[in-house]
Amino acid sequence: MAAVTALPVSLSARFKGSFAYFTVKDRLPQILTKTIDTLHRHKNEFFEEYGEKGVEAEKRAISFLSKLRNELQTDKPVTPLEDELPDAALWNQYLEYQRNLSDGNGEPSWFQSPWLFVECYMYRRIHAALAQNPPIGSFDVFKEGKAQNFFESQEAIIALCTYFQELLKNIKDLDEKQLQGELFKLLQVSLWGNKCDLSFSAGEKSSQKSSPLQCLEDMVPYIIVNDMEKLWSLLINAKKRNTDKCNVRVDIILDNAGFELVSDLVLTDFLLSSKLADEIHFHGKSIPWYVSDTTKSDFNWTIKQLQSANHMWMSRCGINWEGNLKKGVWVYQDHMFWTLPHIYSSMAEVAPDLYADLQRSNLLLFKGDLNYRKLTGDRKWEYTVPFHQALNKFHPAPLCSLRTLKSDTQVGLKPGQGEQIQASEPEWMVSGKYGIVQFDATP
Ligand SMILES: O=P(O)(O)OC[C@H]1O[C@](O)(CO)[C@@H](O)[C@@H]1O
Ligand SMILES: [Mn+2]
């Protein structure tokens, strides 16, 4: 009989001094404070739009959020959700599961429970604070920050759109080697685009300032797992096998809006334009999430912004992308599973419809740190554990994580590799300076 190896422990704020500890202690309360400030700042707007009712709703939302911040800072038990939103029952079941896991070690709480669970729970409660308070129920408290990130990255976006439109002019004449070179470049832009998230900096500015294509070469040594060649083989082989009947479908599980989203859109447009793929499915969040994550409204807003930009190549990108959506070769999807606290190894059970849908894809690209944490279960893995093992049977289709390291979990390194970086750079796992393109195709 094969030996059953126990899974390593979950990252948690109960490990004093860990990144999870600092996040729960400092960054999450900061995010809540900012959220409250944002609501305060919009008070007049709510009044103008909805009169006294708007102001009352704003007050109720603020008091709900202040209570939440207090619960967090005093390590109170995590309480069941009291709203009637469609995912509430699943959340409360998951809380029950955490209760059973804590084995009489007390109720699940902010500083004792798994970090991933309490962090997701905070964003879900932020959502409830608004959703339960019409008429401001659909106000996205993170919208401004996402838009600001987009505007501050304007120059980088122009540089990227211009590069890409020039590339499109002669894409048909590129040989395989050149096509591979361009794919690698755009994969790296999308990888480093993941530096630009806002939950990491507790909502502080984090945009792409310099040209995203210029320093790629210098950054190669910071890609500590680099499976780009494997991605290329998968795509080029699929293209060669491709017949009219069988489309190549690539799915991208999006992360942050702003520059990162634009870099993902360029990458996926390249896959279509080079005929490496015939159909792209985008997966976004159905509620505002982790400050900067992309919702449907962010996705559409971004394409509209590009379209109406006062720059020829930017607007060309926007126009083409709207066309892709209309033609149905780009499909935007969301599913509540992406904003549940569950790790991906439980997707088949919790969201069998989503799992079955992903099984129809030829390649899944998972963007960003949070997706990596959910792929690998957010555990204290040994660095050398194979990626496949950490995925713990999550395998709907060949998949690849494009992520800059912003939390202290990493698998699939060579023996000694992690220790060596650690010796010279103690912050390597959480600084966003290192990245991975980590692939797994084993069923
Ligand atoms: O946008 P990303 O890359 O998923 O990063 C989210 C960030 O939020 C965190 O969850 C921290 O709270 C980290 O994992 C990461 O730094
Ligand atoms: Mn994010």
pLDDT digits (tens, 9 = 90+) for 63-107: 999 999 999 999 999 999 999 999 999 999 999 999 998 766 679
- The closest ligand to the CA of 403 turns out to be 1
Question: Would you say 367 and 260 are in contact if contact means Cβ atoms under 8 Å apart?
Answer: yes
Ligand 1, pocket-test mutation among 407, 408, 429, 434, most atoms within 8 A of CB:
407
Question: Does position 1 have pLDDT exceeding 50, yes or no?
Answer: no
Question: Does position 292 have pLDDT exceeding 90, yes or no?
Answer: yes
- Interval 243-256: pLDDT, tens: 666 799 999 999 99
Ligand 1, pocket-test mutation among 22, 197, 204, 409, most atoms within 8 A of CB:
197
CA of 409 to the centre of ligand 1 (A): 12
What is the average pLDDT across 114-139? 98
Burial class (CB in 10 A: 0-12, 13-18, 19+), 271: buried
- Using CA atoms, how far apart are residues 293 and 13, in angstroms rounded to an integer? 23
Q: Is the CB of 370 under 6 A from ligand 1?
A: yes
Which range (97-111, 125-139, 262-276) has the least confidence? Answer: 97-111
Residue 380 pLDDT:
97
Question: Would you say 192 and 345 are in contact if contact means Cβ atoms under 8 Å apart?
Answer: no
- Using CA atoms, how far apart are residues 283 and 333, in angstroms rounded to an integer? 5
pLDDT band at 223 (very low <50, low <70, confident <90, very high): very high
The verdict on domain 19-131 having CATH code 1.20.120.160 is no
CA of 369 to the centre of ligand 1 (A): 5
Question: Does position 204 have pLDDT exceeding 70, yes or no?
Answer: no
CA of 61 to the centre of ligand 1 (A): 25
Q: Is the CB of 194 under 6 A from ligand 1?
A: yes
CA of 263 to the centre of ligand 2 (A): 14
Domain ranges (residues) in the chain? 19-131, 146-440
CA of 362 to the centre of ligand 2 (A): 24
Question: Does position 145 have pLDDT exceeding 90, yes or no?
Answer: yes
pTM of full prediction above 0.95? yes
| Backbone dihedral angles phi then psi of residue 346, each to the nearest 5 degrees | -100, 10
- The closest ligand to the CA of 406 turns out to be 1
CATH class of 146-440: alpha beta
Question: Does position 218 have pLDDT exceeding 80, yes or no?
Answer: yes
Q: What is the mean pLDDT of the chain?
A: 94
pLDDT band at 443 (very low <50, low <70, confident <90, very high): confident
Residue with the smallest CA separation from ligand 1 atom 10 is 370
Structure tokens at 54: 């708007």
- Interval 405-428: pLDDT, tens: 999 999 999 999 999 999 999 999
Buried b / exposed e over 55-70, threshold 16 CB at 10 Å, is eebbeebbebbeebbe
pLDDT band at 158 (very low <50, low <70, confident <90, very high): very high
This model of the complex carries an ipTM of 0.97
